[in-house]
A and B are shown apart, each in its own frame.
Chain A
Amino acid sequence: MSNCYVDPKYLSVPYQLLSMNIRAMEVTQVLLNAQSIDGAVRKNAEESLKQFQEQNLPAFLLSLSGELANEEKPVETRKLAGLILKNALDAKEQHRKYELVQRWLSLDANAKSQIKACVLKTLSSAVADARSTASQVIAKVAGIELPQKQWPELIGSLLSNIHQLRAHAKQATLETLGYLCEEVSPDIIDQDQVNKILTAVVQGMSASEGNTDVRLAATRALYNALGFAQANFSNDMERDYIMRVVCEATLSPEVRIRQAAFECLVSISSTYYEKLAPYIQDIFSITAKAVREDEEPVSLQAIEFWSSICDEEIDILEDYGGEFTGDSDIPCFYFIKQALPALVPMLLETLLKQEEDQDQDEGAWNIAMAGGTCLGLVARTVGDDIVPLVVPFIEENITKPDWRQREAATYAFGSILEGPSPEKLIPLVNVALNFMLSALTKDPNSHVKDTTAWTVGRIFEFLHGSAVDSPIITQANCQQIVTVLLQSMKDTPNVAEKACGALYFLAQGYEDVGPSSPLTPFFQEIVQSLLTVTHREDAGESRLRTAAYETLNEVVRCSTDETAPLVLQLVPVIMMELHNTLEGQKLSSDEREKQSELQGLLCGCLQVIIQKLGSSEPTKYVFMQYADQIMGLFLRVFACRSSTVHEEAMLAIGALAYATGPDFAKYMPDFYRYLEMGLQNFEEYQVCAVTVGVVGDISRALEEKIVPYCDGIMTQLLKNLSSNQLHRSVKPPIFSCFGDIALAVGEYFEKYLMWAMSALQRAAELSTHTAGDDELTEYTNSLRNGILEAYSGIFQGFKNSPKTQLLIPYAPHILQFLDGIYMEKDMDDVVMKTAIGVLGDLADTLGSHAGSLIQQSRSSKDFLNECLSSEDHMIKESAEWAKLAISRAISV
C-alpha cells in the first residue's frame, strides 16, 4: 500500500557487492534475524547491517525508512528499522553525535527527502509502535535540520495532520510535536509557529477531546512544549487558558492523563513560578485531593509540585541573602508560607503511609518518603514557622504502640531539623535526644530504629559544631552517645549504616575543636568498631561498608594531634586490608566488581590518612617510613585496571607526592606508565581530570627532577587538548598544569613553549567572549582561569633566565587577552585575581621589554585600578603585586 519505496539507484552499489547479503527484499529478513534468539544468527545479521551501512549509507537509511513505512511488514522489523534509523542520527557522546549530524547533513538531498517522506507517512500507520518510532525519528531529523533552517515545511505539515479525523494519526502527530519540542531549542522556532503548536497541543488536551490517547499524547506534548511558551505565559488570557486546561486534565478519569497533567504543573512551578499567584489556591485544592485520594503515581506528582515550589523559594530566598533587601530576578511570593497551615497537616498524613521494609529496598519511592522529603524542604523554606505545626504531631505519635506512628513522628522530627533556627530547635533536641538514644537501642521495630538513627545524624549535622552556641553534646552525654552509636553499628545493615552516618556528623562537629577533642578518649574504640563493621558479612547491603569507611575517613580528618599516634597505627592496618584484596585468587566478574569497590574505599581511606599525616611535620616524618610500601601497593592496584580504584589511588598518590617532596622521584620510573594511562583515559574523564591534578602535585614535589618525564606528559596533555572526545571540564585543569610544569622546570620549558603557547592562544581567543547561558559563562571562566594560571607559571618559571626574551613575542597577545576579558565584564573573582596576577608576572619577567606595551593596555590602568580597590583580599593582593612589578617595568 505504501507509495514509499526505495529508489533502485541507491541500491546499485550493494547489488554489485557480492559479499553484501542484503537486498531490498531481504532487509526484512535481516532485521528479523537481528532479533533472533540464536546468538549466531543475530550476530551474522548485525554484521550484515553494519556492512550495508558502511558500504552505502543513503541506500541503507532509505531501505530502513522504507521498511518502517511499509504496512505489509511485520511490526518487529518496522520498529527495529526505525530504531536503527534513529540511532544513525543521534548518540550520547558529544563527539559521536557531532559526527552523525555532519554525516546526515552531507547526505544526498534527494535521499533525505525520500526518507523524511517515508517517516512522515508512517505517522498515519495503523500500527501504534510504527507511529511512535516514526515520531522519534522525525524529531531527531528536526533536531538536526531546523537549526540549519532546513525542512521548513515540517511543522506546517504536522499541524495539518492534526486536523485529520483519524484519531491515531492525530495522537502520533501530537506525540511528534512533543518529541520535537524536546529536541529543538525554543529560539529555533518562530513565535508564529510556537503559537500554532501550543494551540494544537492545548486543544488536544482539553476536556472536549473525546479520545483518551489523543488527550494523553497532547498532555505529554505540552510538558515538553512548556519551554516554548514564554510569550504565551506573559499573556494573561492565554496563560489562563493553558492553566485551566492543565488543571482540568488533572481531574481526567484516565490516571495516565492525571499524572501527565500534574507533571505539567510541576514543570510550570519551576519555569513560570512568578506567574502562579492567581492559580495557587486552586492548585492547592487539586494537589491536596490528589495526595489524599488519588493513585500513588498521581499523588507523588502532586507532592512533587510543592517540593518544586520549595526549591524555587529556597533559591530566591538564598539570592535575597537572608535579608529582604537583596536582589533576585524573581520576587518571592511566599506560597509555602501562605499554604503552611494546610500544607503541613497534609504532608504529615502521608508519613503514616509507609511501606513495610522500604528501608531495605534501595529503589523504593513512595508517598511517605515523598511527603517527608517535601516536609524537609518546607522546613528549609519557612524556618521557625514550621516547628509549632509539627511538634504536636511528634508528641502525639512518638510513643504510640503502632510502629507506623512512632516512625512517622520520628521522621517528621528528623525532617524539620534543617531550616529552623538552633534557638528554636535546641530546646526540643535537648528533650528528644535522650529519648532517641533509648529508642535506638530498645525500639523493637527496625524501621523506627533506622529513622531514629537517621534523625540523630541530622541532629549532629545541623545542631552540633563550633557554629552552634549552646552545645547539645556535653561531657555528661558524650559517652552515652558514642556507646549507643557503636552498639547500633551492630544492628541490621540499614540501621548500622545510619548509625555510621550519625558518627560521621558527630566527628565533623568537632572538626575545629582545637588541640583537644572530646572524642579522643573514644578514638580507638570508634576506629575498632568501624573496622569491625567493614568486616561484617552483610556489609555489602545498604552500602554499609562504604558508610563505615566514609565515617572512618571523617573521624581521621577531624582528629587532633592527641590521636595522631593512633592514626599512624591505622596505616599498616589499612595497608594490610589493601594487600589482602590484591592476593590473586581467581574471581568471578561479580566478585571482582566487589573487590574493586573495596579497593577504591581503601585507597580513599589511605588518601585521607596521607593528607592528614602529611600536613604536619612530626607525623609526616613518622609516616614516611611507610611510603615505599604504600607506593608499592598503589602500583599493584593500578595493575588491576578499574577506573574508580584508579581515581582513588591517583588522588592518594597526589597527597603522597606532596608529603614526599623531591624524593618522590624514586617512584617515578614505575609510576610513570600509570600516570600516562590516566592521562589517556578519555572515557572515564574523572580519572583523567584527577590525573592532571596529580601531574601538578608531582611537578611541585619534584621541581626540576620531573624533566625526564616532561616529554611524555606534555605530549599527552597537548593531545588531550586537541581531542574533542575528552570531556571539556578536563581542559581548564590541563592549562593550569602547564603552569605547574613551567614553574617547576623553569627555562627547560622552552622545548614546549611554542606548542603550549599556540594551544593557549587558541583557547584564549575562544574564551574571550562568553555569549551564552550561566553554565557556559561558568565554563568559560574556568577555562580563562586555567589559561591565566598557565601564563603565570610560564612567566614565573622563565624569570631570571637568559631565555626570557623568548616570551616577548607572546606579550601583545596576552595583554590583548587580558584587555578582552576585562571589557567583557563577566569574569568571576577567581579569574580577576589570576588575570591581574598575570599582568604582574608579565611585567616582572619581561621588565622594560614590555614597558610600553603594558602602558598601552587597558588592563594596566582601569582594570588594575578596579582590582586595587577590590574588597576581595586576594584580588587586592595580586593587584598590588602587579602594580609594583609594572612600576618597575615602566620606570627602567
Chain B
Amino acid sequence: MAPHDLRRPFKRAAISDQQKRRELSLLRQEQNRRDAQQQARCLASSILSLQSPVPESEPEQSDIELETAPEIEKESGTLSKDLDVPRASKLRGPEVRKWFARQLMLPEWMIDVPDRLSQDWYVYARPAGKRCFVVSSNGTTVSRQRNGSILHHFPSALPAGAKTRDSSGSGQSYCILDCIFHELDQTYYVIDMVCWNGYSLYDCTSEFRFFWLNSKIEESAYTGVVPYVKDGLLFYNKHAHYQTGNTPLVLVWKDENCSQYVIDTDSKGEIPSQQQVVLELQDNGKLVTSDDPPVLFGYLDGDIIQKSGLHSGNLLRFAVSDGGLSFVDGKLDKADLNYLGKANRGRAFADSYSKVVFQFTVRHSPLKIDDLLASINSPDDQEKKPCDVEMVG
C-alpha cells in the first residue's frame, strides 16, 4: 500500500479545451435533436388545433369548407406562430389545405377613412389576381390559394426554394410570402412577408416586415404606372402584426379607375342585378359574416333549412333585395335578403361585414378617391407615398 498521490491540478484551468470542444459538440447535437423533435411536434399541434374543435354535428362537410367559429380562428392564430412550414408543406390532402387557408391575413374593406391615414398607413396598388401564400422549403416552392388549395409547384430563388448546392436545406430554412398571382405576366407580387429564411415575422409589426421586404427584394418606386393590372389599393397599418384571418388593420379600397372588379361579378363574370352576399348558417338559423365576432344579418326560415337539408356551418348565397341594408348609428340594423342557394364549393369563408357593406355602398354612395385624398393632405407625404414591390424570382 504505497502512499496515495495527492497532487492537485497546478496552475491549470479546471477544464481542458478538448473537453470543452466535446461538450459544445454535444450541446449542439442536443439542440439539433430538440429542434428536429420540436418541428415534428409543432406541425402536429397546428393540425390538431384545426381538427379538434370541429363540432360533431357536421360530419360530411365538404373538405375545403371550414368552420369559422371565432374561438377556432383565435386558436389557429396563436398556434401559427410556431408553425412548421417544412413539414406542413410535405402534408397532403384536406388537412394541409385547411391549415394554410387559416394562415392568410385577410384585409377588411374600407368603408370609411381611418384616422391618420398618411402617418400610420402604407399604401400599395394591389395587383389583380389570386391572393396566395408562396412557401419555399426543402428545395421547392409551392403557392396556395386562399382556400388552401395548391396553385403552383415550382423552383424559386427564395431561400430553400430550389434544389441548389448552397441551399443548406437543413430543414430550418424556409420562407412564407403573402402574394398575389398576376395571371397576365405569370408573376407573383409580394404584398407581405410572414417568414424569411426560417425567421418568423409573425410577431413583427408591418413596419418591420416591410423593412424586410424592401431589404430583401428589389423595390421599384410607384410611378402611378405599374407593370401590372391594378385591383384597388391596399392599406397596411404600420403597427399591425401579421395576424391570420380578417383584420381591420389592413384595408382594401377600390374604384373603377384602379380596378376592373369593383362590383362583384357572378361565376360567369357578369354583374348581377342585385348584390349577392355569402353568409354562414349557424344554429337556430342565424346568418352571420366571417368576422370575429361574427355579425348577425338575420335568420333563415326553418322550412328552408329543412327542405334544402342545410346544416349549421353551410355557406349560403343571398341576394340583397330592394329593402337593401339599413344602418343605425353606423351599425347594421336591417338587411333585406333573399335566399338563392348554397355557395360555391370553393368558398372557404363567408363574406366579411366590411365587404358586404363596401359592395353595398359601391352600388349606392361609394367612398371616392377624393374622400381619401382629403384626409391625406398633410405636408409630410413621405409615408403615404405608395409603392409596390415585385418579386424577382
Listed in ascending order, the chain A residues whose CB lies under 8 Å from chain B are 175, 178-179, 182, 220-221, 223-224, 259-260, 263, 266, 297, 300-301, 304, 307, 365, 369-370, 373, 450-451, 454, 461, 498, 501, 504, 549-550, 553-554, 604, 607-608, 611, 617, 620-621, 624, 648, 651, 654-655, 658-663, 686, 690, 693, 696-697, 700-701, 703, 736, 739-740, 743, 789, 792-793, 796, 799-800, 837, 840-841, 844, 881, 884-885, 887-888, 891
Point out the residue from A297, A450, A660 that lies within 8 Å of B3, measured CB to CB: A297
Residue contact A696 to B33, C-beta cutoff 8 Å:
yes
Whether the Cβ atoms of A263 and B3 lie closer than 8 Å is yes
Pair B6/A891 contact, Cβ less than 8 Å? no
Q: Are A661 and B170 in contact (CB under 8 A)?
A: yes
Is B259 engaged at the interface, CB distance under 8 Å to the other chain?
Answer: no
B373 interfacial contact with A, CB 8 Å: no
Q: Report whether A654 and B40 are in contact in the complex, using a CB–CB cutoff of 8 Å.
A: no
- A659 to B170 Cα, complex, angstroms: 8
Residue pair A701, B44 in contact (C-beta under 8 Å): no
Contact (Cβ within 8 A) A651 B25? yes
* CB of B113 closer than 8 Å to a CB of A: no
Does B166 lie within 8 Å of A624, measured CB to CB? yes
A-B contact pairs, 26 of them (CB 8 A): A178-B1, A182-B1, A220-B1, A263-B4, A266-B6, A365-B7, A550-B17, A553-B17, A553-B21, A608-B21, A611-B28, A617-B197, A654-B28, A659-B168, A661-B169, A661-B170, A690-B22, A696-B32, A697-B29, A700-B33, A736-B33, A739-B33, A841-B41, A881-B45, A885-B45, A888-B52
- Chain A contacts for B24, CB-based, 8 A: 611
Nearest chain A CB to B39's CB is how many angstroms away?
Answer: 9
Q: How far is the CA of A740 from the CA of B17 in the complex (A)?
A: 27
Asked if B29 and A654 sit within 8 Å, CB to CB, the answer is: yes
Does B91 sit at the interface, judged by CB under 8 A?
Answer: yes
Complex CA distance for A837 and B37, rounded to whole angstroms:
9
Cα distance, A260 to B2, chains bound together (Å):
9
Contact of A223 among B1, B7, B36, B52 (CB under 8 A): B1
Is B165's CB within 8 Å of the partner chain A? yes
Told that A179-B1, A550-B17, A658-B28 touch, could you supply 18 new A-B pairs with CB distance under 8 A? A178-B1, A223-B1, A297-B3, A365-B6, A549-B17, A553-B17, A608-B21, A611-B24, A611-B25, A648-B18, A655-B25, A659-B168, A700-B32, A740-B36, A743-B37, A743-B40, A796-B37, A884-B45
Residues of B within 8 A of A661 (CB): 167-170
Chain B residue with minimal CB distance to A654?
Answer: B25
Chain A residue nearest to B173 in the complex (CB): A617
> At the interface, yes or no: B345 with Cβ under 8 Å from chain A?
no
Residue of A nearest to B42 (CB): A881
- Please measure, in the bound complex, the distance between the C-alpha atom of A304 and the C-alpha atom of B165, giving whole angstroms: 60
Docked pose: A658 CA to B7 CA in angstroms: 41
> Is B44 a contact of A885 with CB atoms below 8 Å?
yes
CB 8 Å contact bits of B6-25 with A (1 = contact, 0 = none): 11101101001110011011
Q: Which 9 A-B pairs have the closest CB atoms?
A: A550-B17, A796-B40, A661-B168, A220-B1, A365-B7, A661-B170, A304-B6, A454-B11, A661-B169
What's the minimum C-beta distance from B322 to chain A, rounded to whole angstroms?
A: 48
A263 to B4, CA, bound (A): 8
The complex places the Cα of A55 from the Cα of B6 at a distance, in Å, of 44
CA gap between A263 and B3 in the complex, in Å: 8
Taking CB atoms, residues of chain B closer than 8 Å to A659 are 168
Tell me whether B48 is interfacial, beta carbon within 8 Å. yes
Chain B nearest CB from A152 CB (Å) reads 25
State the CA gap A223–B91 with chains docked (Å): 68
Which residues of B come within 8 Å of A, CB atoms? 1, 3-4, 6-8, 10-11, 13, 16-18, 21-22, 24-26, 28-29, 32-33, 36-37, 40-41, 44-45, 48-49, 51-52, 91, 165-171, 173, 197
Set B17, B45, B49: member contacting A554, Cβ < 8 A: B17
**C-alpha gap A621/B44 in the complex (Å):** 32
* Residue contact B33 to A789, C-beta cutoff 8 Å: yes
Across-interface contacts of B13 in A (CB, < 8 A): 461, 501, 504
Bound-state Cα–Cα, A663 to B4, Å: 54
Residue of B nearest to A615 (CB): B28
Are B48 and A885 interface neighbours, CB within 8 A? Answer: yes
* C-alpha gap A617/B160 in the complex (Å): 12
Q: Per a CB cutoff under 8 Å, which of A621, A703, A740 touches B33?
A: A740
Kindly provide the distance from the CB of B114 to the nearest chain A CB, expressed in whole angstroms.
Answer: 38
Q: A796 touching B29 by the CB < 8 A rule? A: no
* A498, B11: Cβ atoms closer than 8 Å: yes
Whether the pair B40, A799 counts as a contact (CB closer than 8 A) is yes
Query: Chain B residues near A221 (CB, 8 Å)?
Result: 1
Question: Is the beta-carbon distance between A604 and B21 smaller than 8 angstroms?
Answer: yes
Contact A696–B29 (Cβ < 8 Å): yes
Write the nearest CB–CB distance from B136 to chain A, whole angstroms: 14
A266, B4: Cα distance in complex, Å: 11
> Known: A621-B166, A659-B168. Contact between A697 and B32, CB under 8 A?
yes
Contacts of B44 in A (CB 8 A): 799, 844, 885
Contact present for B37 and A793 (CB under 8 Å): yes
Kindly provide the distance from the CB of A501 to the nearest chain B CB, expressed in whole angstroms.
Answer: 7
Q: Are B8 and A373 in contact (CB under 8 A)?
A: yes
Known: A369-B10, A693-B26, A696-B33. A259 touches B3 (CB 8 A): yes
User: Which of A182, A220, A654, A887 contacts B52 (CB under 8 A)?
Assistant: A887
A69 CA / B169 CA spacing, docked (Å) = 73
Partner of A175, one of B1, B91, B170: B1
A888 near B25: Cβ-Cβ < 8 Å: no
In Å, the complex CA distance between A504 and B14 comes to 13
Q: Shortest Cβ distance from B370 into chain A, in angstroms?
A: 48
Q: How far apart sit A24 and B4, CA to CA, in the bound complex (Å)?
A: 39
A124 to chain B, nearest CB (A): 20
Report the bound CA distance from A659 to B168 in whole Å: 7
> In the complex, which residues of chain B have a beta carbon less than 8 angstroms from the beta carbon of A654?
25, 28-29
Alpha-carbon distance A266/B40, docked complex (angstroms): 54
Alpha-carbon gap, A283 to B367, bound state (A): 97
In whole angstroms, how far apart are the Cα atoms of A581 and B52 in the complex? 62
| Interchain CB contact (< 8 A) of A792 among B37, B51, B52 | B37
Query: Known: A223-B1, A621-B166. Is A700-B8 also a contact (CB below 8 A)?
Result: no
Known: A611-B24, A799-B44. A888 touches B17 (CB 8 A): no
Chain B residues whose C-beta falls within 8 Å of the C-beta of A617 in the assembled complex: 168, 173, 197
